[in-house]
Chains A and B, each alone.
Chain A
Amino acid sequence: MAEQFEPRIVAFLCKWCSSAGSDLAGVSRMQYPPNVIPITVMCSGSVSPLYIFDAFNKGADGVLVSGCHPGDCHYIKGNYYARRRIAIVKKLLDFIGLEPERFQMSWVSAAEGKKYTQIISDFVEELKPLGPQTKLRRNI
């Protein structure tokens, strides 16, 4: 049997909540699969749809955007913009034919290390049966 498929995930984490939440998961020594490479951005509102498409183009099997809970944005309302933008991106990806499970958004506060752990673990489990993402992958 072939080696089990390990999805490659890029996670865009906002600096103030989700990245801090993932730091807390680390400080608390919670364990989750090593499939995710985090990229810390200032705010989930700064995540351009192009970042998401670029990640899929470059071969990501899944993309996560995680920000502060609605109402708790460090930058007042950046995550509201993110939420709206991501809803559209999700529709577009669906239209293209990409499995909707491959792109997720979550709200993780600086106190939610456990939640971050859970989200990553669930995401990896959901992606495994889908196999490699080839739809948007550029043959480079």
Chain B
Amino acid sequence: MKKKTGVFVCHCGINIAGTVDVKKVAGDLAKHDGVDVSEDYVYMCSDPGQNMIIESIKENKLDNVVVACCSPTLHETTFRNAAKAAGINDFQCEIANIREQCSWVHKDMDKGTAKATKITKSAVEKVRQNEALEPISIPVTRRALVIGGGIAGIQAALDIANTGYEVILVERNPSIGGHMIQLSETFPTLDCSQCILSPKMVEVSKHPKIKLMTYSEVQEISGYVGNFNVKILQKPTYVDPDKCTLCDECTKVCPVVMTNEFDMGLTGRKAIYIPFPQAIPATYALDIRGCPGLVPIACGKCADVCEPEAIDYDMKAEIIEEEVGSIIVATGYDLYEKENLSEYGYGKYTDVLDGLQFERLCSASGPTQGKVLRPSDHKEPKEVVFIQCAGSRDPELHCAYCSKICCMYTAKHAMLYKHHVPDGQAYIFYIDIRSGGKGYEEFVQRAVEEDGVVYLRGKVAKVFEDKGKIKVWGVDTLAGKDIEIDADMVVLATAMRPSEGASELVKKLKIAMDKDGFLAEAHPKLRPVESVTSGMFLAGAAQAPKDIPEAVAQASGAAAKAISILSQERLFHSPMVAKVSLNLCTGCGMCVEVCPYDALSLKDGKVEVNEVLCEGCGTCQATCLRAAINVKNTTPSQVHEMIRASLGG
């Protein structure tokens, strides 16, 4: 039986009717083969407009409809729902975009009308061959994976776990806490960072719904939204956390001294160590990069003194497989590499520090127990120069972007320094002060007015050592003067970079990165916590430089998004997927090779489609020499008819 098609052309006020003779388009379409009804209306998306479509479908017993209006990104859902309400399948409705792709970009009425007619006819040809489809339903694994145990990962894990869903929190270091646990105080309130973070860390370790996997890395991910399979590599710590009593006898006998990462290299630690006193999980780890050998003959001193026999040299790396429904990526940041900032003597002079090293110097748990002393001679520095934008906002040599948090933490550093050394002098070189945020501008003003920090607007040209001092040559562009400061210490507000290893993880997850290597969000304004891959969400500085409140807010947002998946029993997937014509398929396997989603496989000499994995991209369709595999509702036969209509045939 011949299919009956209805066409509904929208004026969109004068948005379409201004350049397109809508009545003529509707009239021409009425004469088009296979069109039974063709009408126009001033606003098709309004209630009366939609009702007109619904009534017409019912009255004329239409099989399918075309609505010629704005872009399908706007009202496709509206009109498909209207079609459904009239009793036909929603996929029997197609949109002809005659606004964004026609009336808005042309001025000539005749040509605009002719083009709109062709676009609409093309949509008619397509819809006539559309199949009625039902969304594909898939079950959901109701657990989440959070990658990264900094503040963003911790917050996301707690938010999800507190709604009752299980969470696996993976952290590659021996303890969670991230960079936030290294900080001394936080702006703009000057709360002690450890004091506000450690309760959350303890909550993570005690939470019945959180499975914490430290010293672990995600190795492989497969699957799709609602059903991801994850392989996690758990590296051996060689210390049984259940037996370890934290007596610290092992570190006393360990002969190997290594760089202490927690203190940013300002101190050393032993090869067997606990990262910091509040570490979660509270246990030691043996760093095999420094350990002389895992055989007792080589050393074995730690095992000898360990009374509870917690040390196990035979511990092996394990690969643990988990199934989860959604994933949150919170891999954080690292500082811009030292070797890139040689103009400031970073990495060359002991008393040129980065921001995190200065945090450790100010921290009560740091190498100097909270006294600000210069690393070279342990004397109190009396003149300290802080340099902002060290590596940021410099498209020629370094990173083009603003690292966002440095203006605030430099103000805090200068303020903390003045609290520790009241008779000292703090100078800050800056390009601009960016202090947008609640209480932030007031905080910077406080640094200037109450603590007498001197702000110098300009860049530093050179930093070099001279007679036990660090000479800083710069320029004050407001006074128009060259500045020379004999400093005792220089602190750089180094740029933030995506954390090391983030780019490899991105490839495993099949999500995208932006030009600077930060994780790309699905839409910069409207989908800021979603990645481009459905079911994977972003939190914290991995997505872009951000401070603690922003990281926490984004983490809670990502958690809510993850929960919106976990809270459903089943998910629905677009049914516009590939379909194989078995009588045409020869089993050559070319399509299997090109499928970006591994959705195709060969079975008994024919190709089989996993409809859940298939995203409907059609790469297989263009590869098949025999037209044996086609994406539903975008088949070659439909496209060929659309081409004919587009050319006025």
Query: A interface vs B, CB < 8 Å?
Result: 8, 10, 19-20, 22-23, 25-27, 29-34, 37-43, 45-51, 54-55, 58-60, 72, 74-78, 81-82, 85, 117, 140
Report the minimal beta-carbon distance from A114 to chain B, rounded to whole angstroms: 12
B643 adjacent to chain A (CB < 8 Å): yes
Q: Is the CB of B647 within 8 A of A8?
A: yes
State whether A72 and B596 are in contact (beta carbons under 8 Å apart), knowing that A22-B101, A50-B636 are contacts in the complex.
Answer: no
B634 adjacent to chain A (CB < 8 Å): yes
Q: Select the stretch in B284-292, B469-477, B612-620 that faces chain A.
A: B612-620
Tell me what chain A mostly uses at the interface: helix, strand, loop, or mixed. Answer: mixed
Q: Is the CB of B631 within 8 A of A58?
A: no
Q: Is the CB of A34 within 8 A of B618?
A: no
Top 4 closest A-B pairs, CB basis?
Answer: A46-B618, A26-B100, A75-B617, A37-B646
Which residues on A sit within 8 Å (CB–CB) of B72?
40
The 14 listed contacts between A and B (C-beta, < 8 Å) are A10-B646, A27-B104, A34-B108, A34-B111, A41-B634, A45-B617, A46-B621, A48-B622, A55-B643, A58-B643, A74-B617, A75-B596, A75-B619, A140-B649
Q: Is the CB of B112 within 8 A of A34?
A: yes
Q: Is the CB of B617 within 8 A of A46?
A: yes
Report the minimal beta-carbon distance from B48 to chain A, rounded to whole angstroms: 25
Which residues on B sit within 8 Å (CB–CB) of A40?
72, 97
Report the minimal beta-carbon distance from A12 to chain B, rounded to whole angstroms: 8
Interface residues of B in 93-111 (CB under 8 A from A): 97, 99-102, 104-108, 111
Report the minimal beta-carbon distance from A108 to chain B, rounded to whole angstroms: 13
Q: Is the CB of A46 within 8 A of B119?
A: no
B510 adjacent to chain A (CB < 8 Å): yes
Report the minimal beta-carbon distance from B599 to chain A, rounded to whole angstroms: 11
Closest residue on chain B to residue A82 by CB atoms: B622
Q: Is the CB of B622 within 8 A of A45?
A: yes
Q: Is the CB of B647 within 8 A of A72?
A: no
Which residues on B sit within 8 Å (CB–CB) of A38?
97, 101, 119
Q: Tell me, in angstroms, the Cα distance from A55 to B617 when the chains sit together.
A: 21
B644 adjacent to chain A (CB < 8 Å): yes
Q: Is the CB of B619 within 8 A of A48?
A: no
B73 adjacent to chain A (CB < 8 Å): yes
Report the minimal beta-carbon distance from B54 to chain A, rounded to whole angstroms: 26
Q: Is the CB of A48 within 8 A of B621?
A: yes
CB < 8 Å neighbour of A31 from B105, B618, B639: B105
Which residues on A sit within 8 Å (CB–CB) of B639?
39, 41, 51
Interface centre among A22, A29, A49 (most CB of B within 10 A): A22
**Interface readout for B496-536 with A: 1 if CB under 8 Å, 0 if not?**
00000000000000101000000000000000000010000
Closest residue on chain B to residue A23 by CB atoms: B100
Q: Is the CB of B622 within 8 A of A46?
A: yes
State whether A26 and B617 are in contact (beta carbons under 8 Å apart), knowing that A31-B105, A38-B119 are contacts in the complex.
Answer: no
Which residues on A sit within 8 Å (CB–CB) of B576?
42
B419 adjacent to chain A (CB < 8 Å): no
Q: Is the CB of A20 within 8 A of B106?
A: no
State whether A58 and B644 are in contact (beta carbons under 8 Å apart), knowing that A72-B512, A75-B596, A81-B619 are contacts in the complex.
Answer: yes
Q: Is the CB of A20 within 8 A of B596?
A: no
B67 adjacent to chain A (CB < 8 Å): no
Q: Is the CB of A76 within 8 A of B596?
A: yes
Q: Tell me, in angstroms, the Cα distance from A77 to B643 when the chains sit together.
A: 25
Report the minimal beta-carbon distance from A52 to chain B, rounded to whole angstroms: 10
B252 adjacent to chain A (CB < 8 Å): no
Q: Tell me, in angstroms, the Cα distance from A26 to B112 when the chains sit together.
A: 13
B623 adjacent to chain A (CB < 8 Å): yes
Q: Tell me, in angstroms, the Cα distance from A34 to B110 when the chains sit together.
A: 10
